[in-house]
Amino acid sequence: MAATPTFENPFRPGAGHMPPYLAGREHETSVFRELLRQSTVMQNLVLTGLRGVGRTVLLETFKPIAQQAGWLWVGTDMSEAASLTDERMATRLLTDLSVRTAAITLSREVPTATFLGKASEHQRLDYGCLTDLHGRTPGLHADKLKAVLEFAWECFRRQRPPVRGLIFAYDEAQTLADNAADKEYPLSMMLDVFQSIQKKGVPFMLVLTGLPTLFPKLVEARTFAERMFRVVFLDHLTRDETGDAIRRPIAAAGCPLRLSDQGIDNVYDLSGGYPYFIQFVCRELYDSAIQNYARATSDFEGTFREIVRKLDCDFFSGRWARVTDRQRDILVAIAHLPNCHTEFSVQEVVEVSGRQLAKGFSASRVSQLMLALSEAGLVYKNRHGRYAFAVPMLGPFILRQVG
């Protein structure tokens, strides 16, 4: 019997976990580097895509790139609570800003008296100082935030070494929303504030990541957002990029077991080229190989069926269990569309439901069900009035349930 190999499984599926090798994101990184070269910030960044496509991971790789280019970086996951009111949004931004301003000690060279009255020249520009400035400034929350951000930049630009600017990076930003019923407009306020200070030459940039519903929400809140953001849509990896994402970690870890070209093709077909699924499938393959090293083969024969079953259980089944019978019917019909993995229209769904179901759907009924499925996070409507699955590889999963 062969000895159990001592190498560690190099693959790491998980929410936001950095993969051992980031494949296929050269274009997106190039776009970000281009934005960093702006002397006056005229474009911010929206990084969007389905779950499992690697938005959070790519955002993390942008941080050191920005820092090396002389930019400061603040940010966090954007929660729904942060966008309930204008005040909470202001608190979120001030809290994040204070992480970088707290190291600044105010001096006589900075016009503190205008804003802070009797502030000591040895006072640090920490959260308490920022909120004091915010409170002393007259006007609405937007006016107060503009004053604080402009003052913060006045302090930053005097630092040595010089600071190029500051990036406010927020993940899961699709949770941002205005609340007209409560007369609270935190999303609109944030957009207004950043557009205003950027027009004045303050190099503070927004980098927002989220599901494909994010950019339409920004434009709905403020139409000028269409010109304010550069939108980068993260798609699945190509077959060659998937091969790199698999081969390079295996080689770097010194794994004695290698996937053949056919094995990599099998992983690509099963994962659809989505980074999370690539990591999930390969993690399971190599766990199986480590535990059964004596009888493992280069193609890991007999393991893919079990991996598919585990993926269905771990990732898809919870979402599938929450839909109604009639919602399942329309999802089954959509899964039979040849373009279900891209986008589809209401009329296409009407037509395929007539072919696939005993009782098809009318256009009005399809629209109603699409709204319910959108609220459930299973589909989304793009800006062109067409729909797409909000969960990657959902179509093949559905066909496996009815096949």
Question: Which domain covers residue 43, as residue numbers?
Answer: 26-233
Which of residues 264, 299, 319 is at a domain's end? 319
Q: What is the pLDDT of residue 299?
A: 47
- The 3-class SS string of the chain reads CCCCCCCCCCCCCCCCCCCCCCCCCHHHHHHHHHHHCCCCCCCEEEEECCCCCCHHHHHHHHHHHHHHCCEEEEEEECCHHHHCCHHHHHHHHHHHHHHHHCCCECCCCCCCHHHHCCCCCCCECCHHHHHHHHHHCCCCHHHHHHHHHHHHHHHHCCCCCCCCEEEEEEECHHHCCCEHHHCECHHHHHHHHHHHHHHCCCCEEEEEEECCCHHHHHHHHCCCHHHHEEEEECCCCCHHHHHHHHHHHHHHCCCCCCCCHHHHHHHHHHHCCCHHHHHHHHHHHHHHHHHCHHHCCCCCCCCHHHHHHHHHHHHHHHHHHCCCHHHHHHHHHHHCCCCCCCCECHHHHHHHHHHHCCCCCCHHHHHHHHHHHHHCCCEEECCCCCEEECCCCHHHHHHHHHC
In a domain, 21, yes or no: no
101/300: higher pLDDT: 101
* pLDDT digits 0-9 by tens, 239-290: 999 999 999 998 888 887 788 888 899 999 999 999 999 999 999 888 877 7
Residue 1: pLDDT above 70? no
With a pLDDT cut of 90, the percent of the chain lying above it is: 65
Same domain for 66 and 168, yes or no, is: yes
Same domain for 125 and 205, yes or no, is: yes
- Tokens matching residue 105: 């000690």
Same domain for 375 and 297, yes or no, is: no
Q: What is the pLDDT of residue 298?
A: 46
pTM (two decimals)? 0.87
Mean pLDDT of 82-90: 87
The count of domains in the chain is 3
**For residue 146, what are the contacts with CB-CB under 8 A and spacing of at least 6?**
193, 196, 197
Confidence band of 296 (pLDDT split at 50, 70, 90): very low
Task: List the CATH number of the domain containing 166.
Answer: 3.40.50.300
Confidence band of 294 (pLDDT split at 50, 70, 90): very low
Confidence band of 120 (pLDDT split at 50, 70, 90): low
Which of residues 210, 233, 256 is at a domain's end? 233
- Tell me if 57 sits within 8 A of 47, measured CB to CB: no
Alpha carbons 22 and 10: distance in angstroms, whole number: 13
Q: What is the pLDDT of residue 301?
A: 54
Confidence band of 111 (pLDDT split at 50, 70, 90): low
Same domain for 252 and 273, yes or no, is: yes
181/353: higher pLDDT: 353
- Bridge partners (DSSP) of residue 73 are 167
Q: What is the pLDDT of residue 97?
A: 96
Same domain for 177 and 214, yes or no, is: yes
- Bridge partners (DSSP) of residue 184 are 179
Q: What is the pLDDT of residue 256?
A: 77
In a domain, 198, yes or no: yes
Same domain for 175 and 222, yes or no, is: yes
Q: What is the pLDDT of residue 300?
A: 56
**Number of C-beta neighbours around residue 316 at 10 A:** 18
In a domain, 252, yes or no: yes
Residue 338: pLDDT above 90? yes
Of the listed ranges 79-83, 173-177, 205-209, 305-309, the least confidently predicted one is 79-83
* pLDDT digits 0-9 by tens, 121-176: 568 899 999 999 999 999 999 999 999 999 999 999 888 888 999 999 999 999 99
Residue 76: pLDDT above 90? no
Q: What is the pLDDT of residue 169?
A: 97
Mean pLDDT of 301-330: 88
Which of residues 319, 345, 364 is at a domain's end? 319
* Tokens 């006056």, located at residue: 40
End-to-end CA, the chain: 40
